[in-house]
Structure 1
Amino acid sequence: MQKDIKHQFTFSQSPETVWGYLTNSELLAQWLMPNDFKPIVGHKFQFGAKPKLKFGFDGRIYCEVLEIVPYKKLAYSWKGGLSKENPSLNSTVIWTLTPTDSGTILTLEHKGFKGIKNYLAYIIMNKGWAKIGKRLFKQLLIIRLCTCYIRNY
């Protein structure tokens, strides 16, 4: 059994603006998690979160940038569990940006929830990604409102 997560988010901002929130470490930390991300294929980085030991999670997500197509696609590995050496979840996150007349459609795919051992992680992360997408929406909305205010000032 394998489960995959897929969510789509629609933004009024351009793909270039949304891309910045996916690839700039400081902006990424505002809506996702603290990290040491760099947009370089092969770069190994980590996200930091609150440990949930009773769920088999040490609070670290170990990642490596797998693919970059500027303003269109970003993919990285996503490994987590109780240790870097023996992750219970070995998966891939793929962000795809599609320009529209009114902004950008951002598609998130999180693939690789294999077997019964990852079923709980799948349930938790499926809901978590939906919440995280809303946080990104709020960050981009704040930027839009500030920009409109400055233009009208």
Structure 2
Amino acid sequence: MKRDLVIKWHFPHAPEKVWECLTNPELVSQWLMKNDFKPVVGHQFQFHSKPLPKMGWDGIVYCEVLEVILNQRLVYTWKGGPRPGVIGLDTLLTWTLTPDGDGTRLVLEHSGFKGLKNIFSSIFMESGWKKGITRRMIQILNEMPGA
């Protein structure tokens, strides 16, 4: 049993602005979670949020940057579990940016959800990607200089 998410957006902003929103750790903390991200291949970083022990999550997403193509593509691992060293979720996030008319087409592929428990996690995460995350990203993009 496996599930992958593919979520597509169109933002009326240049790819450079959308890229900044995806790669500036201060901005990422505003629309996603607190983090120590750097857009450098090999950089290991973490996202931090409120733990959800009943869902087997300690509130930390363990990540490693695998690919960076300026203003076009960002790939990193996305792993989590009930405590450090115990990983129950091992997935991959791929952000792809494409110039599209007056703005940017952004595609998120969150792949590798395996097993019933992680399928349920993917449903929860998909809702977050489509609703709250989208709303917060739009707000940040609209507030950026030159927006």
| TM-score normalized with structure 2 length | 0.94
Q: Is the contact between residue 35 and residue 48 of structure 2 (CA under 8 Å) also seen in structure 1? A: yes
SS in 1 for 2:16: helix
Determine the structure 2 residue equivalent to 1:139.
140
For structure 1, which segment, 7-16 or 130-139, has the greater mean C-alpha deviation from structure 2 after superposition? 130-139
- For structure 2, the residue ranges without an aligned partner over 5 or more in a row are none
Q: Is the contact between residue 5 and residue 110 of structure 2 (CA under 8 Å) also seen in structure 1? A: yes
Per the TM alignment, residue 84 of structure 1 is displaced from its structure 2 partner at its CA by 3.1
For structure 1, which segment, 50-59 or 130-139, has the greater mean C-alpha deviation from structure 2 after superposition? 130-139
Q: Is the contact between residue 62 and residue 84 of structure 1 (CA under 8 Å) also seen in structure 2? A: no
SS in 2 for 1:57: coil
Amino acid at match of 2:64: E
CA deviation digits over 1:5-48, x for unaligned, max 9?
11111111100111011111111111111100001000000000
Amino acid at match of 1:116: L
Q: Is the contact between residue 14 and residue 104 of structure 2 (CA under 8 Å) also seen in structure 1? A: yes
SS in 1 for 2:113: strand
- For structure 1, the residue ranges without an aligned partner over 5 or more in a row are 149-153
Work out the CA distance in 2 between the residues paired with 1:134 and 1:3.
Answer: 24
| TM-score normalized with structure 1 length | 0.91
Amino acid at match of 1:85: G
Identity of aligned residues (%): 49
Per the TM alignment, residue 117 of structure 1 is displaced from its structure 2 partner at its CA by 2.4
Work out the CA distance in 2 between the residues paired with 1:129 and 1:58.
Answer: 20
SS in 1 for 2:35: coil
SS in 2 for 1:137: helix
Work out the CA distance in 2 between the residues paired with 1:103 and 1:86.
Answer: 41
Moved over 3 A (4+): none
Work out the CA distance in 1 between the residues paired with 2:116 and 2:26.
Answer: 35
Determine the structure 2 residue equivalent to 1:54.
54
Work out the CA distance in 2 between the residues paired with 1:141 and 1:20.
Answer: 13
The 5 Å alignment of 1:33-112 reads 33-112=33-112
Per the TM alignment, residue 147 of structure 1 is displaced from its structure 2 partner at its CA by 4.2
For structure 1, which segment, 54-63 or 82-91, has the greater mean C-alpha deviation from structure 2 after superposition? 82-91
Work out the CA distance in 2 between the residues paired with 1:83 and 1:70.
Answer: 33
Higher helix share: 1
For structure 1, which segment, 134-143 or 114-123, has the greater mean C-alpha deviation from structure 2 after superposition? 134-143
CA RMSD of aligned residues (A): 1.2
Choose 1 or 2 for highest CA Rg.
1
Determine the structure 2 residue equivalent to 1:24.
24
